[in-house]
Amino acid sequence: MRIFKYTYLVAVATLTLTSCGSVKNMAVPTMDTAVNITSAKKGTVTEEQSKHWAHADLATDTIPGMSLDKAYKFLEGKKGTTVIVGVIDSGIDIEHEDLKDVLWTNTKEIAGNGIDDDKNGFIDDIHGWNFLGGNGVAAPEQLEITRILAKMNPRFKGKTIDEISPEDKADFEKYQEYVKAYEASGSRYFTTLERLAQIEETINAVKKHTKKSTLTLEDLKAIETEDETLKGQVQGLITLFGRGLNEEEFYQYYETQKKNKNYDFDFDGRAIVGDNPEDINDNVYGNGNVIGSKDEESHGTHVSGIILATRNNGVGMNGVATNAKLMSVRAVPDGDERDKDVALAIRYAVDNGAKVINMSFGKNYSPNKEWVFDAIKYAEEHDVLLVHAAGNDNKDIDVKPNWPNDSEDKVVEYADNVLTVGAMSLNYDENLPAPFSNYGKTNVDVFAPGVQIYSTVPKNEYAKYNGTSMASPEVAGVAALVRSYYPQLSASQVKHIIMNSGTKIDMDVLVPGEKGKKANFSELSISGKVANAYNALVLADRMVNGK
């Protein structure tokens, strides 16, 4: 068994709570569970422990998790209510062994009859809705920057500033900025595609020489030639194949890259959907197939398992939340999500009873952000908490763009029901923040485990993924847990309970993306804390029961 070795510091937490009056509209007190470093202790994490490290407790396990196991001990003897959790994501394998028993089911709808039985505007939405259209297919899409440029290219492509009319010059300047952003974003992809084309050309040249339909490493090593060009080609392939790659795998990867539509100006990602993505009122589209392509939609399945994979069923892993039901809302393609889909997905989840919505997605541009703003406000009006991944670009989102968010100017929040989550690692030292995680003293609320997180993937399998996409559902699970056992608390109160009750980390850490620069962990988010399920439940209990 593989052993992971880390150095941890034992933490001693002291809880100081203030009793409050009535639950409605009450202020949320701060519970500073400060990490007091008392001694150093070396610990080892086994492969099995690494599968659920996010649930561990720093003080007792020497692993900087969210104290979930401790939280469930606190809940012994207590009874919770059912909470519907909307997961806006890619397709979700709702037939997975660890998810099939926790599905939200629209009991007002009759499956497969082609009728909108409950008159909610969605036909056969049994377990949620698919805003990406298609049945059993993946959903490729462009990036938003590609879509923006595709619209502007007919006006400006190939032109210089001297050819632009005075009234178009402002738009032309923006166009030039977009071109630079597109080129920067796509440079690695285009370089990779060019390199793959060169390798294919080399394979074909060597095949022509050997007259073989396929090549193996043994075939390559057996080739004798005086042709220096061919020698170099053969040696290059020997190096490539010697790393474990074979011809079949190469072509599989190459085909996958060629199917990437992120940077394709001519691709129409909405052809399969059939709506007008520029019209928010054109809202009758999609279908009830929330799985999508079971072979490819691992992201949404992984996110869902983190939140609410069936607990203690003897298979796989335990999700964070019990008493939770999964509502699948498919709106995130292989590319940038459309603002329209996001806005309507939020409204769908709200209208059908979700009290917590996880949103593990994001992008740099949002041309119709007002639709999403309105949907977030709609969720706030209906007491729904939105938990959002901060993003994986290792950037400060106080100064750089990241959508959706709850503040158009990055200073003033227009709603108090969005909880933005950064990702942390298993390392309780300067490497605590995940190196890919976005951060922001004003625009990230809290951090949570997001490195090597073990969860469900399609076809009854499990895998470890990295990302703020994994950190967000950890917190969404905590939110669902609090809302289950303390339904009296509002979405805003639950948000601030999670922020105020987190574990405060008082140490200097490496700032993601800043090449060795350090800052106190408190500078990376509003709360300066790591979400802690046990502390959140204790604070919620004392707010509700006044103890």
Q: Determine which one of 50, 55, 57, 89 is catalytic.
A: 89
Both structure tokens of 227: 């042709």
Residue 299 is a catalytic residue: yes
Measured CA to CA in angstroms, residue 420 lies from 31, 134, 255, 300, 531 at distances of 19, 31, 36, 18, 12
Main-chain phi, psi angles of 184, to 5 degrees = -65, -40
Q: Quote the CA–CA distance of 69 and 55 in Å, as a whole number.
A: 6
Rg of the chain taking only CA atoms, in angstroms: 25
- Cβ–Cβ < 8 Å for 167, 329: no
The DSSP annotation for 246-297 comes to -HHHHHHHHHHHHT--TT-TT--TTTTT-S-TT-TT-----BS--S--TTT-
Residue 302 is a catalytic residue: no
Q: Determine which one of 52, 96, 127, 299 is catalytic.
A: 299
- Tokens 């070396």: give the residue: 42
- Tokens 């900087």: give the residue: 64
The region, left, alpha or beta by phi > 0 then psi within -120 to 50, assigned to residue 479 is alpha
Q: Quote the CA–CA distance of 90 and 401 in Å, as a whole number.
A: 22
CA–CA–CA angle 291, 455, 296 (5° rounding): 35
Residue 67 is a catalytic residue: no
Both structure tokens of 67: 């104290």
- Tokens 């959002």: give the residue: 388
Q: Determine which one of 425, 455, 469, 490 is catalytic.
A: 469
Q: Is residue 34 within a helix (H) or strand (E), and if so which, with residue range?
A: strand 33-34
Strand residue runs (E) in 338-479: 354-359, 385-389, 418-424, 446-449, 453-457, 461-465
* Residues with a known catalytic role: 89, 299, 469
